[in-house]
């Protein structure tokens, strides 16, 4: 089948021909509450490094208006433009076990051709199973461990976990589309879904990223780095808890979520993505408290690491990003969260949290709207 390969969709890298039994996939721009999947993958790349197996042709796969190239300007001179990149990298866990990591922005076109190309590459690499990681908004409190649910392409891969309350229909991310296509070629897929408190869904939430890596380590017999994420999660949760305690109405809402979570846990059942009452007013109240904290953090950090030194230019690249979301909003990127974690290791929280953007909201609602 080599003669039928879509070679035009990618360029081989130095590690072309590498072999690994596991494929891990995550695409930015799809469902990922709390940036959980993005944080997890970026943490792996930052701590484990990687060798390039293949780089895909962004010009064929990506709409640059949806994923705009990043330009660099120095002293008013454009010095470079970096287009978005979809890559297949070879990484090794802390014990040297190989994993193929497919990551980058979610393609806007040619999903079938892309999936067929990936299938050919991973079959040659000896991949036996694929994984993907996501955060999903759920009615769980930030004061409890993060539940991780498993969705799979084969019933035998689904463990004993809480039953779904009916079937669901929602716009599929490419990671799920790719897993379904790979399953028809003999490579089954497992999706890890970390339940993120719905009032934290628009903010980087390291606790969920840590939970995803721990679950992936258990299922795939890997040794993955979670220390930075766990330290950051502990500090973030403490700060959010302090804010909640200062607002009686919000505190009562969180306590109700805690009781619901504990009741399910006592019944030996983890809360599911459809559990927990999501009252719009309560969600707004909690969100307002969190947003006020994030805004304060941003002001304390001087507007974040990309602010312009020229008062005639309103905030440089970071301000431009904030203006795309809305006046007064801030954007918490995955890199911002990782920079915070690195800063804490050095004894300083150097950047403020900013809110990530997501393409779709409430994608996990059931067809009946419940």
Average pLDDT over the chain reads: 78
Say which residue the tokens 């990223």 belong to: 209
Write out pLDDT tens, residues 198-236: 888 888 899 999 999 999 999 999 999 887 787 777 777
Q: What is the pLDDT of residues 231-243, one digit of tens each?
A: 777 777 787 777 7
Those residues with Cβ within 8 angstroms of residue 195's Cβ, 6 or more apart along the chain or in another chain: 136, 138, 140, 146, 147, 148, 149, 208, 271, 272, 273
> Is 367 part of any domain?
no
74, β-bridge pairs:
77
Task: Please give the residue that has the higher pLDDT: either 352 or 108.
Answer: 108
For residue 323, is it within any domain?
Answer: yes
Percent of the chain topping pLDDT 90: 51
pLDDT(191) > 70:
yes
Q: Is 356 inside any structural domain? A: no
- Identify whether 351 is part of a domain: no
Tell me what pLDDT residue 311 has: 36
284 pLDDT more than 70: no
Among residues 216, 207, 257, 214, the alpha carbon closest in space to that of 234 is found at: 207
Give me the mean pLDDT over the 180-187 stretch: 97
Mean pLDDT of 79-99: 96
**Mean pLDDT, range 105-113, rounded to an integer:** 96
pLDDT value for 180 = 97
Percent above pLDDT 70 for the chain: 70
Q: What is the pTM of this model?
A: 0.74
Residue 148 is part of a domain; what is its CATH number? 3.40.50.10900
Let me know if residue 360 belongs to a domain. Answer: no
Residue 265's domain comprises 2-345
CA-based max dimension of the chain: 66
49 vs 303, higher pLDDT: 49
Chain centroid to CA 170: how far?
A: 18
Residue 71 is assigned to a structural domain of this protein: yes
In a domain? residue 60? yes
Residue 268 lies in a domain: yes
Task: Check pLDDT > 50 for residue 364.
Answer: no
Number of domains in the chain: 1
């Amino acid at each position: 089948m080599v003669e039928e390969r879509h070679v035009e969709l990618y360029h081989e890298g130095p590690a072309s021909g590498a072999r690994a039994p596991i494929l891990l996939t995550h695409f930015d721009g799809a469902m990922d509450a709390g940036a959980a999947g993005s944080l997890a993958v970026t943490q792996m790349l930052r701590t484990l490094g990687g060798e390039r197996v293949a780089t895909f042709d962004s010009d064929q796969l990506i709409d640059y208006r949806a994923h705009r190239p990043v330009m660099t300007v120095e002293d008013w001179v454009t010095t470079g433009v970096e287009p978005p990149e979809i890559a297949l990298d070879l990484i090794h866990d802390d014990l040297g076990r190989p994993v193929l990591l497919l990551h980058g922005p979610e393609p806007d076109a040619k999903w079938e051709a892309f999936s067929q190309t990936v299938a050919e590459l991973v079959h040659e690499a000896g991949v036996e199973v694929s994984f993907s990681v996501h955060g999903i908004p759920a009615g769980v409190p930030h004061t409890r461990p993060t539940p991780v649910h498993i969705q799979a392409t084969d019933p035998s891969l689904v463990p004993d976990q809480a039953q779904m309350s009916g079937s669901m229909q929602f716009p599929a991310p490419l990671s799920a589309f790719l897993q379904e296509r790979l399953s028809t070629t003999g490579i089954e897929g497992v999706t890890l879904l970390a339940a993120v408190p719905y009032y934290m869904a628009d903010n980087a939430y390291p606790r969920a990223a840590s939970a995803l890596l721990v679950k992936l380590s258990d299922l795939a017999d890997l040794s993955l780095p979670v220390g930075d994420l766990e330290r950051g999660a502990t500090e973030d949760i403490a700060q959010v808890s302090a804010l909640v305690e200062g607002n009686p109405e919000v505190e009562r809402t969180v306590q109700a979520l805690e009781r619901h979570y504990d009741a399910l846990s006592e019944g030996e059942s983890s809360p599911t993505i459809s559990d927990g009452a999501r009252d719009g007013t309560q969600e707004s109240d909690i969100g307002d408290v969190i947003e006020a904290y994030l805004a304060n953090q941003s002001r304390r950090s001087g507007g974040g690491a990309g602010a312009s030194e020229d008062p005639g230019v309103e905030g440089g690249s970071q301000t431009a990003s904030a203006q795309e979301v809305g006046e007064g909003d801030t954007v918490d990127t995955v890199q911002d969260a990782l920079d915070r974690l690195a800063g804490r290791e050095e004894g300083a929280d150097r950047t403020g949290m900013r809110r990530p953007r997501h393409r779709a909201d409430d994608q996990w609602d059931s067809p009946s709207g419940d």
